[in-house]
């Protein structure tokens, strides 16, 4: 494999390399010993020189492993992609550090590989289990993965990690040590061990730990009940994409949950497991199918209905089956529950001061690490999204008066531009927005001065869908001109295309029927 040339040096001369490679080829005919000596000189000359930073060598993996064996070193590979911002930041910072360059030169043969440049590089990345970038792997001269490090790292922690690899330590050993010190049934630590096994290619052991966390973690600590079917399950599903036995294990658990749902012995947990596995494996049509079957056969108990509700409502809303949602689910109760949960979760300063220390500590820690308004902003966003979904259902089912009352209540609770944008977007999603949605979008736009790209996108799309094509194009083009990031430009480009494809109504839109 020809790895990508170093991005930190321009001193490799093609003519010189050709001559050295010819010398090495001639040496093979003389003797293997003399070949090894010549190869060492060749590789030393091939190394691209830098001004004190890391020297990345333009070698194949086999050449690098052979040199590492001769010089009693490890192979270090920096896997990167051209679109990876932290990768470029590492090139400009840590990999320019003379201390980092000296350490890697002393202990490793360093390669830099664009993981997406060609099939050979893609195969190498797959060989070492690279699934995120930047990704740094340390490999023995025999080609065995010793340990890996990911993400942007400053020089000190990078060097500390490298030193731990030289001492024979790795992520598995560190995770096992933590388990021994804290207890073998700590769900977080068992999950760390699963990740360590997976990162270093010990798939069978990783699956064993993953399944222990999924099957037993919440029994050890009930606070992991939600984590189990969200974050943990997402990791297991991702792991299953390259390790089929993990997929078999998830199928087995899904089938067992389905059997209990069908025979009437299911608990809420069974429905949650069934629907969550379907969600993470992108097989949600099975969720709706089973719900319909259970409902048709009269087996839809209160527990099963509650377990199915969130997923089935979401799927029906996505399919724009609004009338069915209104018919089969209690929308007023869903709305009331959303407001009650919000009001119960928002703490005043007085309530925080009177809170028990055991409860106050995590709230204060969250404020310290994520920002003082993070919790409140998150709760507000949950309320907006939950109520906006019900608002979309009411609009789509032509319950305009109920929708208007709900929008008024939400705005009275959260009187800001984002709330108005969320309501307007819900109208856009129905494909037939109401006049109120135009008002909401315009108000959000005025409140943000046209500087919020999401608001601009929403206003343009509502205008276009409502039939005001020319005005929509004008708004979208202004948003595109103002876009400052690649994501914003992508958003507004897609918006402008939508507006350009929308028909212009000759007369003013008529009242919704």
Give the pair of three-digit tokens for residue 393. 């259902």
14-169 and 171-242: same fold?
A: no
Residue 122 pLDDT more than 60? yes
Q: Which CATH class is domain 14-169?
A: alpha beta
The reported pLDDT for the residue numbered 19 is: 39
What's the CA angle centered on 323, arms 320 and 326, to 5 degrees?
A: 115
Q: Which two tokens stand for residue 475?
A: 């708004």
The region of weakest confidence among 46-55, 120-129, 241-250, 299-308 is: 46-55
Higher pLDDT, 13 or 207: 207
The residue with tokens 């209104």 is 326
Do residues 274 and 257 touch, judged by C-beta distance below 8 A? yes
- Residue 114 is predicted with a pLDDT of 95
Q: Which residues contact 77 (CB under 8 A, 6 or more apart)?
A: 61, 110, 111, 112, 113, 124, 128, 136, 137, 139
Beta carbons within 10 angstroms of residue 23's beta carbon: 14
Which pLDDT value is given to residue 306?
81
Average pLDDT for 206-215 = 96
What gap in Å lies between CA 292 and CA 278, rounded to an integer? Answer: 15
Least confident of 55-69, 147-161, 314-328, 362-376: 362-376
Say how far apart CA 386 and CA 430 lie, in whole Å: 16
Model confidence pLDDT, tens digit, residues 373-384: 788 888 999 999
pLDDT of amino acid 359: 55
- Residues 437-481 have pLDDT tens digits of 999 999 999 999 999 999 999 999 999 999 999 999 999 999 999
* Whole-angstrom distance, CA of residue 245 vs CA of residue 224: 24
CATH number for the region 171-242 comes to 1.25.40
Q: What is the number of other CB atoms lying within 10 angstroms of the CB of residue 21? A: 12
- The contacts of residue 313 (CB under 8 Å, 6+ apart) are 325, 329, 334, 389, 393
pLDDT above 90 coverage of the chain, percent: 72
pLDDT of residue 373: 77
Contact of 171 with 164, CB cutoff 8 Å: no
**Residue 232: closest CA among 277, 268, 269:** 277
Q: What was the pLDDT predicted at 29?
A: 35
Distance of CA 133 to the CA centre of its chain: 13
pLDDT at 16: 40
Give the span between the Cα atoms of 285 and 211, in whole angstroms: 25
- Report domain extents, the chain: 14-169, 171-242, 244-319, 325-415
User: Judging by beta carbons within 10 Å of its beta carbon (0-12, 13-18, 19+), is residue 333 exposed, middle or buried?
Assistant: exposed
Query: Parallel, antiparallel, or unpaired for β 108-114 and 74-80?
Result: parallel
What mean pLDDT value characterizes the chain?
85
């Amino acid at each position: 494999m020809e790895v990508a040339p170093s991005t930190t040096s321009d001193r490799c001369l093609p003519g010189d390399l050709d001559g050295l490679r010819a010398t090495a080829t001639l040496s093979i005919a003389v003797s293997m010993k003399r070949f090894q000596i010549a190869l060492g000189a060749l590789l030393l000359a091939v190394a691209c020189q830098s001004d004190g930073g890391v020297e990345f060598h333009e070698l194949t993996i086999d050449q690098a492993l052979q040199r590492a064996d001769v010089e009693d070193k490890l192979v270090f590979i920096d896997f990167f992609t051209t679109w990876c911002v932290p990768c470029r930041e590492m090139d400009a910072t840590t990999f320019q550090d003379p201390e980092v360059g000296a350490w890697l030169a002393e202990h490793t043969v360093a390669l830099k590989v664009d993981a997406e440049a060609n099939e050979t590089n893609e195969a190498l990345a797959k060989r070492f289990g690279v699934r995120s970038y930047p990704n740094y792997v340390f490999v023995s001269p025999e080609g065995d993965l010793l340990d890996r490090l990911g993400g942007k790292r400053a020089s000190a922690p990078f060097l500390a990690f490298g030193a731990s690899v030289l001492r024979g330590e790795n992520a598995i050993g560190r995770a096992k040590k933590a388990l021994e010190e804290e207890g073998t049934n700590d769900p977080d630590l068992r999950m760390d061990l699963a990740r360590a096994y997976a990162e270093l290619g010990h798939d069978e052991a990783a699956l064993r730990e993953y399944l222990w966390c999924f099957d037993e973690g919440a029994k050890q600590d009930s606070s992991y009940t939600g984590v189990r079917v969200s974050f943990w399950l997402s990791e297991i599903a991702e792991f299953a994409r390259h390790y089929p036995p993990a997929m078999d294990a998830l199928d087995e658990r899904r089938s067992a949950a389905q059997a209990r749902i069908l025979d009437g012995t299911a608990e809420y947990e069974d429905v949650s497991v069934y629907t969550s596995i379907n969600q993470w494996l992108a097989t949600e049509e099975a969720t709706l199918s089973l719900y319909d079957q259970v409902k048709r056969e009269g087996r839809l108990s209160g527990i099963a209905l509650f377990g199915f509700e969130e997923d089935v409502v979401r799927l029906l809303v996505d399919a724009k089956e609004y009338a069915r949602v209104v018919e089969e689910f209690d929308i007023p109760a869903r709305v009331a529950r959303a407001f009650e949960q919000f009001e119960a979760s928002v703490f005043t300063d007085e309530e925080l001061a009177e809170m028990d220390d055991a409860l106050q500590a995590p709230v204060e820690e969250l404020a310290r690490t994520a920002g003082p308004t993070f919790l409140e902003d998150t709760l507000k966003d949950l309320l907006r999204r939950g109520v906006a979904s019900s608002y979309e259902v009411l609009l789509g089912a032509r319950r305009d008066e109920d929708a208007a009352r709900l929008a008024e209540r939400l705005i009275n609770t959260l009187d800001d531009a984002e709330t108005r944008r969320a309501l307007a977007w819900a109208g856009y999603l129905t494909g037939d927005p109401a006049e109120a949605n135009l008002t909401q979008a315009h108000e959000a736009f005025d409140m943000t001065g046209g500087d919020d790209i999401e608001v601009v996108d929403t206003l343009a799309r509502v205008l276009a869908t409502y039939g005001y094509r020319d005005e929509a194009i004008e708004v979208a083009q202004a948003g595109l001109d103002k876009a400052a990031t690649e994501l914003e430009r992508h958003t507004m480009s897609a918006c402008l295309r939508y507006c350009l494809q929308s028909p212009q109504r000759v007369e003013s839109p008529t009242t919704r029927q």
